Chains A and B, each alone.
Chain A
Amino acid sequence: MTSSTVYPISSMGGPLAKRVPRSGRWGTVFAVFRRSCYLESGGGQVFCLADQGLGEGPLTLAVKIPSKTTFRSLGINEGCHLDTDGVDLVVGHELVLTTAETVIWEPDPVGQTAPQDEILRRLDVLIDQVDPLIPSDGLAEVIPHTAGIANAGSSGIVNMNAVAELAMPRLSRLCGGLTRSASEAIDQGVAGLVGLGPGLTPSGDDLLGGMLVALRAMQNTASLFSVDALAGCVTKHAAAETTRISAEMLEQSARGYGSAAQHRLLRCLLGVDDSSDTVNAALDLIRTGHTSGWDALAGILLGIYCGLRIGRYQASPDPAAQSSIAFSRRMAGTPA
C-alpha cells in the first residue's frame, strides 16, 4: 500500500520515553505476536510495541489499532526497523505511528498504605476468591501457600505440577533470605527461579517480577536492604539466564516498574482507600498471557507477605546486613 494509515501511539512508558532518539533508527523487530511485537535498540534495550488493549507498561509503546487487526497483517515482521523523525515513528516502510498525542505513562503510586491487619484481610479474601480458578500450569498453584512460605517456609508440599514443586523450596529459601536479610540465601533462591518454567517470560521470572514490584511499592527503611539485594540478584541472573524479553521486564520490575495491571492491583491491596475493585483488578491481571498474569499475581502476594514480615522480623539478622539496617534506621531516626 502506498498511502499509509497513521495510527496514534496512545501512551509510552516513562522509562522508555527517556530513551527515544531524536531521529534516526530506534530499533529492530525481533519477535512478533498477534497484538504486540518486541524490538531491540542499537544499545541493546528491549522494548515493546503493543495494542493499547493489552495495557501500559514501563517499556511499552501502546498503539491504537482496529480490534481485528493483527500485527503481521500490518506488515510487521521480524527484521523490520523502527525509525523516527522526532514526531512520527515508521515501522517497516509504510506503517506510521504518530506521537502527537502520546501520554507518558507512569504508574500511579500506592500512596498512603492501609494498616497491616487490613492488608492481611484483603489478601485472605482475594486468595479465597481466586483459589477455584487457579490453573495447573506455571506457578499459580503456590498462591494458596504464599502466606505460609513467607512466614515459616513451606512445610509439606501438596501435589503440584513439576515447575511448582521445583520452585517451592527455592521460594522458601528466597523468602527466608529476605526476612533475615541474608544475601546468600536470596541469591540461591533467585538463581533457582530465574528462567524457570514455560512461556516466553518464564513463570519464575513473572513471579519474581511481581514480588519486586510489590516490595518496591511498600518499601521502607527496614526492608530496603533486602529489596535492594533481591533486585541486584534478579538483574544479575536475568542478564545471563533468561530470555532477553524477560530480562528487560525484570530490570524494570527491579526498579519498581510493573505493568499497569500490576500497579492497579497493588493500589487495591495496599492503599488506604476503599478496595472494592480488588477482584476486578486481579481478574485483569490474570487474564494476561497464558500463565504470566497468574505468576505475577503469585509474586505480588508473596511480595506483600514478605514485605509485611520484613518490617517486624525479630531474630538477629545476617551480620553483613545488620550494619546496613542500623545505618538506615539511624538515618530515619528510629532506634537501632
Chain B
Amino acid sequence: MTVKNHVLKNMYRDSVALMRLSQEMEGLENVAQATAIMGTDNNKDLLAQAGLLADSGKSATPNDLIVAFDLTSPGQEEAVITSVQQRLMSGRQRTGGGAGYRPRSMEGALQTLPQANLAMISVPGEHAAREARKALDLGLNVLLFSDNVPLEDEVGLKQQAISLGLFMMGPDCGTAIINGVPLGFANAVPSGRVGLVSASGSGLQQVICLLAESGEGISHALGVGGRDLSGEVNGAMMLEGLRALGEDSATEIIVLISKPPAQSARARVLEAASQCGKPYVISFLGEQGEHGKRASRGNVHMENNLEGTALRVLKLLGKETPGWASLDDKNRKRIESIIAGSDPGHRSIRGLYSGGTLCYESLFILRDLGHLAGSGLEQEPVGGDLLIDMGDDRYTVGRPHPMIDFRSRCEALVQAAADPEVGVVLLDVILGYGAHPDPAAELSPAILEAQKIARNDGRRLACVVALCGSPDDPQDMDQQEKTLTHAGALVVHSNALAARIASAISRGGAVPLPGGDTRG
C-alpha cells in the first residue's frame, strides 16, 4: 500500500463536495482508502491514526485541503490526482444557471426544470414507493428502476398513475426509450415505426437491437416492470402502454414482451390488442402448446421467444430475413471443429447471464430441445446443464449488477472451466447506455484463461456469447465482437441462436432451427 497526500492551498469546497470527492476517489480502481479534509493539526492526527498521513500532508496549513489516499499499487498517483483536480475544478468552469446545481428535492428540481414531465427513480426499494408517489403527486410520469418494492405498493402506484393520466413504468423497470431518449439501460437505435411495451428489460433490449441491426427503428419502448402481468397488478400499465402506442401516430406495429402472464391479465391484453387496428406481435416468452403460435389470430401474432418476435416484426413489415438469424459459414465451421475435438461425455452447458430474461429464454429453449437444464434456484438437475442469472438478488448483494461489473462473471467463468463436466459456457453481453464501457476487455482475459485451463486438462471449452447491442451503441459493437472473437468466443447477436448453438455443441450434432414456424 502506498500512501500519498496531495495538498491544495487555500482550497475551499463545501462539505458535501468533499464527501463526494472522498467517495469518488475510493471508487477508483487503484485506491484502497481516500479522504479529503482540511489541513488542521487535529485532522493531521486523524489522518496519521488512519495511516493516511504522508510528508506533504504534514506541512499543510488549516486553510489547505489535504487529499489523502492509499494506493493498492504504486505509480498510480498521477491518475488519481488528475481526477481529483478535474472534480475540484469542474465547478469553476461552469457558468450558466443551474449547471452543477443539485436540488435536494423533487419540488426543487421542478423549479429548476419546470418543463420536466418524467421522474426517473432508482433509490433503495424501501424508499422507492414514497418517492414515486411524490412524483405522481407533482404530475410527473415515473420510471421506477428500483426493485424490492412491495407488491401492494405497486398496485397502489399504478392505480394512482392511471387516475392521474400518468405512466408508472415499474417498479423493477430498467429500460425505456421515449422519442429517442434512452432511459435507464437502453440502446441507441434509430427512430422508426415499431412501438414496444415490455415487462422485461433485457428482453426489450434484445428485440430492439435485433431490429436495429436490420435497419428497423422504434417509436417508443415502454417498460412496465416485471410484475405487471401478475394477477394482482393485472396488466394495469401494459394496457395503458398498449393504448398509448395505439394512439401514437408514429407507431405502426405494436410489440408486447413478457413472461407468461396470469390468466386474467392475458385476457385483458388479448382483448385490447384485438380491438386495435394495428398489427400486434405478442411475445409471452416460453409459452407452448395451446397458447403458442396457434393462438395467432387476425391482427394479433403470438411468439414465444425474442428472436422469433423480431423476425415476426420484420416479416410483417415486409423485410427480408436478416443475417443475424442464422449461422454464417465461419461460425458453422468453428462449431464443427469444437465438436470434433471434444469428448461427448463432457459437454454440459454452464450459462452465466446478466440479463434475467435472456437467461430465462435460454433455459426454456434448452428444455424445449430436451435438455435437463436448471437455473440453480432449484435442485441441481441430473443432466448437469446450469444457467445462472447473475443479476439475481442473491448474487448482487453488496456488488454492482453484472451488466456494469464483470468480476463475478469472470470468476464464475474460470471456475466453470475447471469443472471437467462443462463443455460449453453461455454468456450474454449487453451493450448500450448505462452498461459497462468495454465489456469485451473485461471478459476476454477470463475467456482466454478458461480455455487455457480446459486445454491443460486435455479438454476443449466452447464459449458462446450472445452480444446484444446496436451498431450505434457507445461501446462500438464491431470492436466488441472482434475482441471477443479473438479471445476464442463464438459470437452471435441472437440469444436464442446462442442457446441453440450451445445445445448443438453439447450434443455433438447440428445446430437446430428455431422451434416452430417463424420463418414461414
A and B touch in their complex, CB below 8 angstroms = yes
Is the Cβ of A34 less than 8 Å from the Cβ of B100? yes
Task: Give chain A residues whose Cβ lies under 8 Å from the Cβ of B15.
Answer: 198-201, 289-292
A137 at the interface (CB under 8 A from B): yes
Does A68 contact B62, Cβ atoms closer than 8 Å? no
A70 with B101, Cβ < 8 A, contacts A77-B92, A290-B15 known: yes
- Beta-carbon contacts under 8 Å, B305-331 to A: none
CA distance A202 to B63 in the complex (A): 11
B397 interface residue (CB < 8 Å to A): no
How big is chain B's contact interface, by range? 35 or more
Nearest-neighbour CB distance to chain B for A86, whole angstroms, equals 30
A233 to B: closest C-beta gap in Å? 14
B341 adjacent to chain A (CB < 8 Å): no
Interface flag for B87 (CB, 8 Å): no
By a CB distance below 8 angstroms, the chain A residues around B96 are 73
Q: Which residues of B contact A72 (CB under 8 A)?
A: 91-92, 94-95, 100
Distance, CA A34 to CA B16, complexed state (A): 11
Residue in B40, B91, B99, B102 whose CB lies within 8 Å of A195: B40
Given contacts A73-B98, A243-B62, contact A204 B42 (CB under 8 A): yes
Interface presence of B455 (CB below 8 A): no
Least Cβ distance of B236 to chain A in Å?
35
Contact flags (1/0) for B18-46 with A, using CB distance below 8 Å? Answer: 11000000000000000101101111011
Is A3 at the interface (CB under 8 A from chain B)? Answer: no
Find out whether the CB atom of B38 lies under 8 angstroms from the CB atom of A200: yes
Q: How far is the CA of A256 from the CA of B19 in the complex (A)?
A: 30
Tell me which residues across on chain A come within 8 A of B14, comparing CB atoms: 33-34, 200, 289-290
Q: Which of A220-263 contact B (CB under 8 A)?
A: 240-245
Q: Contact check, B98 vs A70: say whether CB atoms are below 8 A apart.
A: yes
Once bound together, how far apart are the Cα atoms of A204 and B41, in whole Å? 12
The answer to whether B112 touches A243 (Cβ under 8 A) is no
Interchain nearest-CB distance for B358 vs A (Å): 39
* Chain B residues whose CB sits within 8 angstroms of the CB of A77 once the complex forms: 92
Could you mark each residue 50-75 of chain A with 1 if its beta carbon is under 8 Å from any beta carbon of chain B, else 0?
A: 00000000000000000111101101
CB contacts (< 8 Å) of A198 on chain B: these are 15, 18-19, 35, 37
Q: Are A195 and B38 in contact (CB under 8 A)?
A: yes
From the candidates B12, B37, B42, B108, name the one contacting A245 in the complex (CB within 8 A): B12
- Knowing A68-B111, A193-B42, A196-B42, the reply to whether A73 touches B62 (Cβ < 8 A) is no
B49 at the interface (CB under 8 A from A): yes
Would you give the shortest CB distance from A298 to chain B, in whole angstroms? 15
> Does A142 interact with chain B (Cβ within 8 Å)?
no
- Known contacts A31-B12, A200-B13; A241 and B46 CB within 8 A of each other: no
The residues of A that contact B49 with a CB separation of less than 8 Å are 162, 166
Whether B50 is near chain A, meaning CB under 8 Å from some CB there, is yes
CB pair B112 A242 closer than 8 Å? no
A194, A196, A289, A290: the one contacting B46 at CB < 8 Å is: A196
A242 B38 Cβ-Cβ under 8 A: yes
Question: Are A30 and B12 in touch, CB under 8 angstroms?
Answer: yes
Q: How far is the CB of B327 from chain A (nearest CB, A)?
A: 56
Q: How large is the interface on A (under 10, 10 to 19, 20 to 34, 35 or more residues)?
A: 35 or more
Q: Chain B residues near A299 (CB, 8 Å)?
A: none
With known contacts A31-B12, A163-B46, A290-B15, A241–B97 Cβ distance under 8 A: no
How many whole Å from A94's CB to the nearest CB in chain B? 13
Q: Is A15 on the interface with B (CB-CB < 8 A)?
A: no
A residues less than 8 Å from B41 (CB atoms): 195, 241
Name the B residues within 8 Å of A31 (CB-CB).
12
**Which chain A residue shows the least CB distance to B22?**
A198
Q: Which of A30, A69, A166, A194 contacts B40 (CB 8 A)?
A: A194
Q: Provide the residues of chain A in CB contact with B76, threshold 8 Å.
A: none
A73 near B46 (CB under 8 angstroms)?
no
Residues of chain A with a CB closer than 8 A to B99's CB: 70, 73
Q: Which residues of A contact B40 (CB under 8 A)?
A: 194-196, 202, 241-243
B59 within 8 A of A: no
A75-B96 Cα distance, complex, nearest whole Å: 9
CB distance from B127 to the nearest CB of A (A): 14
One digit per residue, 1 when the CB lies within 8 angstroms of any chain B CB and 0 when it does not, for chain A 135-168 equals 0010000000000000000000000001100100
Chain B residues lying within 8 Å of A69, measured Cβ to Cβ, are 97-98
Distance of A32 Cα from B14 Cα, bound (Å):
9
A75 (CB) vs chain B CBs: closest residue: B95
Q: Determine if A68 and B100 form an interchain contact, defined as CB atoms under 8 angstroms apart.
A: no
Contact A199 B18 (CB under 8 A): yes
Taking a contact as CB atoms under 8 Å apart, the answer to whether B42 and A73 are in contact is no
- Report, nearest first, the 4 A-B pairs whose CB atoms are least far apart: A195-B40, A31-B12, A290-B15, A196-B42
List residues of B whose CB falls within 8 A of some A CB. Answer: 10, 12-16, 18-19, 35, 37-38, 40-43, 45-46, 49-50, 62-63, 91-92, 94-102, 108, 111-112
A-B CB contact pairs (8 Å), 17 listed: A34-B100, A34-B101, A68-B111, A69-B97, A70-B99, A77-B92, A78-B92, A137-B19, A196-B46, A197-B37, A197-B42, A197-B46, A198-B19, A200-B18, A241-B40, A244-B62, A290-B15
Given contacts A73-B99, A162-B50, A199-B15, 12 further A-B contacts (CB under 8 A): A33-B13, A72-B95, A72-B100, A73-B96, A166-B49, A194-B42, A196-B46, A197-B37, A202-B38, A202-B42, A290-B15, A290-B16
